[in-house]
């Protein structure tokens, strides 16, 4: 039977899971980690060996560790060694069982079913008892479901205790499923393998992943961080943003790439990016100049979120607000214009460039957007050209029987 070695385990797992070619060049480095598992030793920290795979550049590409398939409470379980696989950030990717081994599930007794009987060992005199149990190997559907379960970080298994999970009677300890399983847990476990589901879920989503992420933090380079920022996976982007902030990496190339990431990112990335930019650009003018660039190149949803954040800023200069107004050329929603005008009114800022940008909205095809610009401009002292534009808008609305107030 094939035996696992760290490098073979990783190669087989990565190839089977479709992440890298099995012959890709990399080396495996073992690391001693100390983690807890709620089903082992009353959740006390225990040492384990975690294998880290490095590519030809020495960058982390994944982690693997052998674990038991089940928490065996009374020595009556069939334990299978399973190789668990995590990505470079400790995100669970999948598991792999060696050739010749299978995961099994307990079957609720059925007189009409032709099942394989597996006698328990360790009973006095080897005499069969009512603990005898019918078993079956995992089907492809079982493996697919278990993978889905293990990838669900918000699973109810996170807060379940084993006693609550199994619902077993003393005379029916068969991987937690011979007793009745609560209906709320049916989709959270593989039928007949509740304890295996519980045990492997906590390996997949517990301290091992956190330890893996910290190891990657310890082995980052500028090139690796840039590659993370360029990925479509939001987890890798957030990791890079947090790493840049944690280690105070403020090179102009990083600042520029962070702005690009924020312009199309979600709120989590924007918040992390802003925290980074505030540290990287302690000078207020430099910070708001970059923020104005971000505002101009972002999509509408991102600009609206930024305007909401800017509304809470206590100090922002008129020149900085003028920079932001240049981004109004991309505005196409009422709410975005409304937020911006509220912002400049809050800071009581008026300037010729700002008024010019706002006056352009009087020609907007959306009447409500044009009217919002009108409400702002009618309260300002305008030059002759803008005053004529405002009057022309009033006359146009009168001809079309549109109400301005």
**Least trusted range by pLDDT, from 18-27, 131-140, 300-309:** 18-27
Q: Which residues pair with 35 in a beta bridge?
A: 46
Can you give the C-alpha Rg of the chain in angstroms?
Answer: 31
Model confidence band, residue 126 (pLDDT cutoffs 50, 70, 90): very low
The tally of CA atoms less than 13 A away on the side-chain side of residue 172 is 15
The third-level CATH classification (topology) of the domain covering 221-399 is: 1.25.10
- Looking at the whole model, is its pTM more than 0.75? yes
Confirm if 36 and 206 have CB atoms less than 8 A apart.
yes
The confidence band for 43, taking pLDDT boundaries of 50, 70 and 90, is: confident
Distance in angstroms between the alpha carbons of the first and the last residue of the chain:
84
pLDDT at 74: 57
Provide the pairing of β-strand 116-118 with 46-55: unpaired
Share of the chain above pLDDT 90, in %: 59
pLDDT over threshold 90, residue 192: no
State the Cα angle at 215 between 81 and 246, rounded to 5°: 150
Q: Does residue 128 register a pLDDT over 70?
A: no
Output the average pLDDT for the chain.
84
Task: Note whether 323 and 292 are within 8 A (CB).
Answer: yes
The residues near 363 (Cβ < 8 Å, ≥ 6 apart) are 370
The CATH 1.25.10 portion of the chain extends over 221-399
Query: 380: how many CB neighbours lie within 10 A of its CB?
Result: 14
Given CA atoms 144, 146, 147, 153 in this order, what sign does their dihedral have?
A: positive
């Amino acid at each position: 039977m094939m035996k696992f070695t760290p490098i073979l385990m990783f190669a087989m797992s990565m190839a089977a899971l479709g992440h890298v070619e099995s012959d890709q060049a990399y080396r495996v480095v073992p690391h001693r980690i100390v983690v807890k598992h709620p089903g082992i030793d009353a959740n006390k920290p225990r040492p384990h060996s975690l294998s880290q795979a490095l590519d030809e550049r020495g960058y982390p590409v994944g982690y693997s560790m052998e674990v038991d398939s089940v928490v065996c409470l009374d020595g009556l379980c069939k334990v299978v060694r399973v190789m668990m696989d995590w990505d470079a950030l400790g995100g669970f990717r999948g598991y792999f069982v060696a050739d010749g081994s299978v995961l099994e599930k307990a079957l609720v007794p059925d007189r009409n079913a032709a099942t394989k009987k597996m006698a328990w060992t360790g009973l006095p005199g080897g005499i069969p008892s009512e603990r005898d149990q019918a078993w079956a190997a995992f089907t492809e559907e079982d493996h697919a479901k278990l993978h889905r379960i293990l990838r669900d970080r918000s699973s109810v298994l996170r807060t379940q205790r084993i006693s609550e999970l199994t619902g077993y009677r003393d005379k029916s300890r068969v991987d937690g499923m011979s007793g009745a399983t609560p209906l709320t847990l049916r989709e959270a476990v593989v039928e007949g393998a509740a304890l295996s589901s519980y045990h492997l879920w906590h390996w997949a989503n517990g301290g091992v992943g956190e330890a893996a992420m910290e190891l990657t933090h310890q082995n980052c380079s500028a090139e690796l961080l840039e590659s993370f920022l360029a990925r479509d996976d939001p987890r890798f982007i957030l990791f890079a943003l947090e790493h840049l902030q944690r280690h105070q990496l403020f090179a102009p190339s990083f600042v520029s790439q962070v702005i690009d990431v924020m312009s199309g990112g979600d709120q989590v990335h924007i918040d992390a990016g802003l925290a980074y930019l505030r540290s990287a650009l302690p000078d207020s003018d430099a910070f708001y100049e970059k923020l104005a660039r971000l505002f101009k190149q972002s999509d509408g949803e991102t600009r609206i979120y930024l305007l909401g954040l800017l509304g809470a800023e206590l100090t922002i200069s008129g020149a900085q607000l003028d920079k932001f107004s240049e981004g109004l050329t991309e505005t196409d929603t009422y709410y975005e214009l409304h937020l911006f005008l509220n912002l400049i009114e809050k800071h009581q800022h008026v300037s010729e460039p700002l008024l010019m940008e706002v006056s352009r909205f009087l020609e907007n095809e959306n009447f409500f957007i044009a009217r919002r610009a009108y409400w702002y401009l009618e309260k300002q002292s305008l030059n002759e050209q803008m005053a004529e534009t405002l009057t022309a808008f009033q006359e146009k609305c009168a001809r079309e029987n549109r109400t301005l107030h």
